[in-house]
């Protein structure tokens, strides 16, 4: 079977319920198709059902086998640009100027605890694959200067081969009036976290327990991302031991629309991670006028600038103090919201389009 396309890419995590890496590759390929005019084909495992001729399913149904073998034999037969968008590729890959690797972060090299079995397997797989493939690529894209520096520190790479194209979000200044004012927002703290220890989600529970009683009595925490039942039980036990069970709501999977509503109505968003490659919730908070409290570590100062209220992620008292200041110093909080609207413009969809076009014209346009 022949495919009249100029780009093929792994579309595994770019369909159905996708965030993060899936959105990034969809946006990236969208620019190549809609703004540059290239023809693209998304590659999927056998059994993946998508009602579109823009995708092709083939090979193994198990992802690791599919990436390592099915993708390898498929791409050997084509001359198109091949994009590997999820940190890894087949280890049998031969060095070629047509291949593009997107690395979002190197967090999987950390020995994070509390990962689900699926996350543990994924981390081991990436730790094995990435060192064996990274020097086979002439084109590497990452999402922040922080992540680029991590790549250069860990691997023997030419810095000119690593390009930074940050994540993006749809934002128009006219949308600001659709966001509730700070005083109109609900008395809850929003957090999107996860099971791995680097997400540091547990610290929010301990920090909340240290808040003054008059705040704990009227505020709640809405937490998204704790999906593993064993880990969720641990979190509920911590909340029970701290006597804050009634104040903590663990939300199941939320659609994009539901998450947007949560941002719009939250009194603040707390992002206590020790490490992130970019931190998409930063720009989501800014877009919806939700005050951002985050760690003063990893990529956060680069992405959030002076629009966030920072804390020490290793210190629960520091997190608690940031919460109290956000509530009690409304003037400063509203000032941060306004700075957030300015900061998010750097990561607008229009900026993303220009970044991708510039990268393509520099590296591939004849």
Same domain, 210 and 269: yes
CATH of the domain at 193: 3.40.50.2000
Cα of 8 vs its chain's centroid, Å = 23
Q: What separation in angstroms does the CA of 51 have from each of 7, 30, 54, 57, 71?
A: 20, 18, 9, 11, 21
User: Tokens 């099971």 map to which residue?
Assistant: 195
Same domain, 91 and 163: yes
pLDDT at 59 over 80: yes
Task: Compute how many other C-beta atoms are within 10 angstroms of the C-beta atom of residue 42.
Answer: 24
Taking alpha carbons only, the member of 291, 264, 307, 267 closest to residue 177 is: 264
Predicted pLDDT of residue 118? 75
Same domain, 129 and 181: no
Whether residue 190 lies inside any domain: the answer is yes
Same domain, 62 and 148: yes
pLDDT at 300 over 90: yes
Predicted pLDDT of residue 302? 98
> Tokens standing for 4?
């009249």
Whether residue 123 lies inside any domain: the answer is yes
pLDDT at 366 over 70: no
Whether residue 24 lies inside any domain: the answer is yes
Same domain, 151 and 288: no
Whether residue 265 lies inside any domain: the answer is yes
Predicted pLDDT of residue 51? 79
Predicted pLDDT of residue 22? 92
Tell me the three-class secondary structure of the chain, residue by residue.
CCCCCCEEEECCCCCCCCCCHHHHHHHHHHHHHHCCCCCEEEEEECCCCCCCCCEEEECCCCHHHHHHHHHHHHHHCCCCEEEECCCCCCCCCCCEEEEEEECCCCHHHCCCCCCCHHHHHHHHHHHHHHHHHHHHEEEEEECCHHHHHHHHHHCCCCHHHEEECCCCECCCHHHHHHCCCHHHCCCEEEEECCCCHHHCCHHHHHHHHCCCHHHHCCCEEEEECCCCHHHHHHHHHHHHHCCCHHHEEEECCCCHHHHHHHHHHCCEEEECCCCCCCCHHHHHHHHCCCCEEEECCCCHHHHHHHHCEEECCCCHHHHHHHHHHHHHCHHHHHHHHHHHHHHHHHHEHHHHHHHHHHHHHHHCCC
Same domain, 240 and 333: yes
pTM over 0.75: yes
Same domain, 180 and 153: no
Whether residue 94 lies inside any domain: the answer is yes
Given pLDDT bands bounded at 50, 70 and 90, which one contains residue 324?
very high
Same domain, 20 and 139: yes
Considering the chain, what percentage of its residues have pLDDT values greater than 70?
A: 97
Task: Compute how many other C-beta atoms are within 10 angstroms of the C-beta atom of residue 139.
Answer: 19
Predicted pLDDT of residue 110? 85
Number of domains in the chain: 2
Whether residue 82 lies inside any domain: the answer is yes
Predicted pLDDT of residue 115? 64
Cα of 153 vs its chain's centroid, Å = 22
Whether residue 2 lies inside any domain: the answer is no
Beta strands 7-10; 81-84: pairing state: parallel
Average pLDDT of the residues of the chain:
94
Given pLDDT bands bounded at 50, 70 and 90, which one contains residue 144?
very high
> Tokens standing for 21?
């890496």
- The region that residue 196 occupies, defined by phi over 0 for left and psi between -120 and 50 for alpha, beta otherwise, is beta
Nearest-angstrom CA–CA distance, 100 and 64: 19
Domain residue limits at 312: 173-347
Given pLDDT bands bounded at 50, 70 and 90, which one contains residue 120?
confident
Taking alpha carbons only, the member of 193, 141, 190, 191 closest to residue 167 is: 141
Q: Lowest mean pLDDT: which of 163-172, 198-207, 222-231?
A: 222-231
For residues 21-43, average pLDDT = 96
Same domain, 284 and 254: yes
Return the biggest CA–CA distance within the chain: 68
List the beta bridge partners of residue 188. Answer: 220
Q: Lowest mean pLDDT: which of 3-7, 110-114, 308-312?
A: 110-114
Same domain, 343 and 229: yes
Same domain, 113 and 220: no
Same domain, 48 and 92: yes
Predicted pLDDT of residue 114? 60
pLDDT at 158 over 90: yes
pLDDT at 364 over 80: yes
pLDDT at 350 over 80: yes
Predicted pLDDT of residue 286? 98
Predicted pLDDT of residue 20? 85
pLDDT at 16 over 80: no
pLDDT at 111 over 90: no
For residues 319-347, average pLDDT = 97
pLDDT at 208 over 80: yes
Whether residue 1 lies inside any domain: the answer is no
List the beta bridge partners of residue 82. Answer: 8, 99
Residue 106, C-beta contacts closer than 8 angstroms, at least 6 positions apart: 130, 147, 150, 151, 154, 277
Nearest-angstrom CA–CA distance, 173 and 326: 24
């Amino acid at each position: 079977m022949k495919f009249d396309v100029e780009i093929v890419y792994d579309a595994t995590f770019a369909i159905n319920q996708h965030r993060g890496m899936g959105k990034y590759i969809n946006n990236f390929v969208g620019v190549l198709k809609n703004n540059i005019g290239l023809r693209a084909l998304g590659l999927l495992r056998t059994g993946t059902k998508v009602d579109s001729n823009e995708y092709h399913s083939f090979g193994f149904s198990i992802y690791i086998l599919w990436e390592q073998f099915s993708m390898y034999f498929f791409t050997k037969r084509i001359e198109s640009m091949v994009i590997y968008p999820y940190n890894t590729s087949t280890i049998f890959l031969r060095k070629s100027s047509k291949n593009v690797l997107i690395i979002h972060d190197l967090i999987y090299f950390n020995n994070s605890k509390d990962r689900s079995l699926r996350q543990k397997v994924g981390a081991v797989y990436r730790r094995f694959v990435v060192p064996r493939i990274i020097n086979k690529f002439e084109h590497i894209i990452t999402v922040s200067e922080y992540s680029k520096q991590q790549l250069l520190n860990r691997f023997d790479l030419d810095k000119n081969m690593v390009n930074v194209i940050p994540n993006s979000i749809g934002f128009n200044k006219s949308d600001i009036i659709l966001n509730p004012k700070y005083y109109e927002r609900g008395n809850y703290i929003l957090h999107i976290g996860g099971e791995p220890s680097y997400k540091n989600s547990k610290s929010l529970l301990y920090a909340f327990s240290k808040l003054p009683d008059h705040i704990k009595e009227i505020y709640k925490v809405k937490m998204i991302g704790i999906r593993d039942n064993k880990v969720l039980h641990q979190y509920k036990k911590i909340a029970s031991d701290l006597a804050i069970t009634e104040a903590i709501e663990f939300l199941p999977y939320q659609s994009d629309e539901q998450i947007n509503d949560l941002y719009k109505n939250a009194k603040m968003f707390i992002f206590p991670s020790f490490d992130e490659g970019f931190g998409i919730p930063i720009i989501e908070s800014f877009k919806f006028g939700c005050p951002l409290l985050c760690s003063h570590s990893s990529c956060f100062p680069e992405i959030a600038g002076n629009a966030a209220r920072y804390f020490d992620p290793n210190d629960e008292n520091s997190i608690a103090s940031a919460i109290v200041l956000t509530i009690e110093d409304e003037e400063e909080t509203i000032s941060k919201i306004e700075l957030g609207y300015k900061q998010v413009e750097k990561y607008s969809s229009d900026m993303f389009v220009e970044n991708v076009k510039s990268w393509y014209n520099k590296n591939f346009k004849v």
